[in-house]
């Protein structure tokens, strides 16, 4: 099929590369010329494992452009995968989506095109995009559209860091439209993934036990709500275990054992039960806020989702409290933060807990040094006021520090030569905000090891 993807960010680029790899002719449109130039040069503008390798493998079926006229007119399917960042009132900012839809409408020419919302958008946005497409089409073409296009929703569930595997081997695919032909076209487009009939890329072998992928083919509103319901539930799971972690610390229970023993119940499941400094990233905060905002339009409160957000916020301030308990005074202390990305294997810094924690510590008068093995360049560009605290070498984070906070569980930090660094610190205190280090080993090496719940050892 001929596919066009508008927006070459984490979602758009992963979708494009995967669809091209599966054999679809794919045109990727972005207004960011620098991104398009980078992609044309065969390089990846974001850090995502295996993406560059697959980009190279699928290059002959990929076109990168800033021009809608190049990809839209011939496309059977146009995906819109632009950002929908959060506004102050909790609602997502839909201006990128509006602008993308208007540009798409101007170039729609084919017999029938499915215009697919892949961006996470509030329930009802499918109808809204349909109206924008129709108005813009009429304005530009001078007549009303007939049945040339229909709108569908295809929410994205990929996780940064494992985006390609999540796309090629998903738990499910959700498509929603009030137009049956659109659902048929998308079913056809995703057929190789649904029946796992493609030859896996060498860099990403098919995981054992993967069979046919379930398809949820439904109406627009249901597809849109599925995305929010799923993200809010995952956010809730993380906040739930952090709430349990708070009591575990008080009663002397080991939260990792509690999480394991709870998650082994198949009705609960082990994933997203990791205690620590909480979630971050571009989705959970924004999507839970959007769900609450949509509910309020219907005079509905969402106390459970609201509580999950409050608990998550509390985890960030708790880092300062934990350090205060141990160091008694924060002012003037040198505190190192290991990890800036909101999670490992990505360079995404959006709503990263590390950034809030850095600001909270600075507000308290701490001297901070921060480090990330991958996201440093991006941090320098996106956080100019904090960039002066960035260390290129991890040893500078430890040097003369009163405490280290592990904010991102990069393997890089697990594998550090921790023995070498303890003597370089003023006081070898480690707050493991992700429960990712070996407590016994660090204690043997002379560190005081602290988690978000348990007191420092020894």
Q: Which residues bind ligand NAD (CB under 6 A)?
A: 6-12, 29-32, 35, 81-84, 96, 99-100, 119-120, 156, 158, 160, 282-283
Taking the C-alpha atoms of residue 134 and residue 115, their distance in angstroms, rounded to an integer, is 12
Looking at beta carbons, which residue is closest to ligand NAD? 9
Give whichever of 30 and 76 is closer to ligand NAD, judged by the CB atom.
30
- Chain centre to alpha carbon of residue 171: 17
**Helix, strand, coil abundance in the chain, percent, nearest 5:** 45, 15, 40
Nearest-approach distance from CB 52 to ligand NAD, in angstroms: 16
Give whichever of 3 and 100 is closer to ligand NAD, judged by the CB atom.
100
Nearest-approach distance from CB 396 to ligand NAD, in angstroms: 30
Nearest-approach distance from CB 248 to ligand NAD, in angstroms: 30
| Helix (H/G/I), strand (E/B), else coil: 164 | helix
Query: Using CB atoms within 10 A of its CB, is residue 12 exposed (0-12), middle (13-18) or buried (19+)?
Result: buried
Give whichever of 213 and 327 is closer to ligand NAD, judged by the CB atom.
213
Nearest-approach distance from CB 35 to ligand NAD, in angstroms: 6
Q: Is 283 a catalytic residue?
A: yes
Considering Cα of 391, then 394, then 396, then 397, what sign does the dihedral take?
A: positive
182 vs 113, 189, 232, 445, CA distance in Å?
A: 8, 10, 28, 61
- Chain centre to alpha carbon of residue 297: 26
Give whichever of 69 and 301 is closer to ligand NAD, judged by the CB atom.
69
Give whichever of 343 and 389 is closer to ligand NAD, judged by the CB atom.
343
Nearest-approach distance from CB 181 to ligand NAD, in angstroms: 25
Give whichever of 13 and 425 is closer to ligand NAD, judged by the CB atom.
13
Quick one: three-class SS letters along 274-343? CCCCCCCCCCHHHHHHHHHHHHHHCCCCCHHHHHHHHHHHHHHHHHHHHHHHHHCCCCCCEEEEECCCCC
Taking the C-alpha atoms of residue 259 and residue 290, their distance in angstroms, rounded to an integer, is 29
Torsions phi, psi of 255, nearest 5? -60, -30
Nearest-approach distance from CB 278 to ligand NAD, in angstroms: 17
Q: Identify the active-site residue in 28, 44, 283, 436.
A: 283
Query: Using CB atoms within 10 A of its CB, is residue 440 exposed (0-12), middle (13-18) or buried (19+)?
Result: exposed
Residues serving a catalytic function are 283
């Amino acid at each position: 099929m001929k596919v066009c993807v508008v927006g070459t960010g984490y979602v758009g680029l992963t979708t494009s590369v995967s669809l091209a790899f599966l054999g679809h002719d794919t045109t990727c449109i972005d207004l960011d010329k620098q991104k398009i130039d980078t992609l044309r040069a065969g390089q990846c503008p974001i850090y995502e494992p295996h993406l560059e390798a697959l980009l190279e493998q699928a290059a002959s079926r990929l076109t990168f452009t800033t021009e809608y006229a190049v990809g839209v007119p011939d496309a059977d399917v146009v995906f819109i995968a632009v950002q929908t960042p959060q506004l102050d009132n909790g609602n997502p900012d839909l201006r990128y989506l509006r602008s993308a839809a208007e540009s798409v409408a101007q170039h729609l020419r084919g017999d029938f095109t499915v215009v697919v919302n892949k961006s996470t958008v509030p329930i009802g946005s499918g109808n809204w995009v349909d109206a924008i497409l129709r108005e813009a089409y009429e304005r530009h073409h001078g007549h009303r559209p007939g049945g040339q296009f229909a709108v569908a929703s295809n929410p994205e569930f990929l996780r940064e860091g494992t985006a390609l595997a999540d796309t090629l081997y998903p738990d499910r695919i959700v498509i929603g439209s009030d137009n049956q032909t659109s659902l048929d076209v998308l079913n056809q487009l995703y057929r190789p993934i649904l029946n796992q009939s493609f030859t896996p890329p060498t860099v990403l072998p098919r995981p054992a036990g993967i069979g046919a992928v379930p398809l949820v083919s439904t109406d627009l509103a249901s597809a849109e709500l599925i995305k929010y319901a799923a993200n809010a539930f995952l956010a809730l799971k993380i906040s739930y275990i952090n709430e349990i972690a708070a009591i575990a610390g008080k009663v002397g229970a080991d939260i990792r054992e509690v999480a394991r023993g709870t998650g082994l119940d198949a009705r609960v499941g082990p994933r997203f039960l990791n205690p620590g400094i909480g979630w971050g990233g571009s989705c959970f905060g924004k999507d839970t806020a959007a769900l609450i905002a949509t509910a309020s339009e219907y005079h509905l409160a969402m106390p459970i989702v609201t509580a999950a957000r409050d608990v998550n916020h509390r985890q960030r301030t708790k880092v300062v409290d934990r350090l205060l308990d141990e160091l008694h005074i924060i002012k003037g202390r040198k505190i190192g933060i290991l990890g800036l990305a909101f999670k490992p294997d990505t360079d995404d810094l959006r709503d990263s807990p590390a950034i809030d924690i850095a600001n909270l510590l600075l507000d308290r008068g701490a001297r901070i040094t921060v480090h990330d093995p991958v996201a440093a360049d991006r941090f320098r560009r996106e956080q100019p006021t904090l960039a002066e605290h960035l260390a290129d070498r991890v040893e500078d984070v430890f040097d003369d520090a009163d405490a280290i906070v592990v904010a991102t569980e990069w393997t890089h930090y697990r594998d550090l030569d921790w023995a070498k660094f303890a003597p370089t610190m003023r006081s070898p205190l480690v707050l493991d905000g992700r429960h990712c280090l070996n407590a016994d080993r660090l204690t043997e090496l002379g560190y005081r090891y602290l988690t978000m719940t348990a007191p420092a050892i020894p």
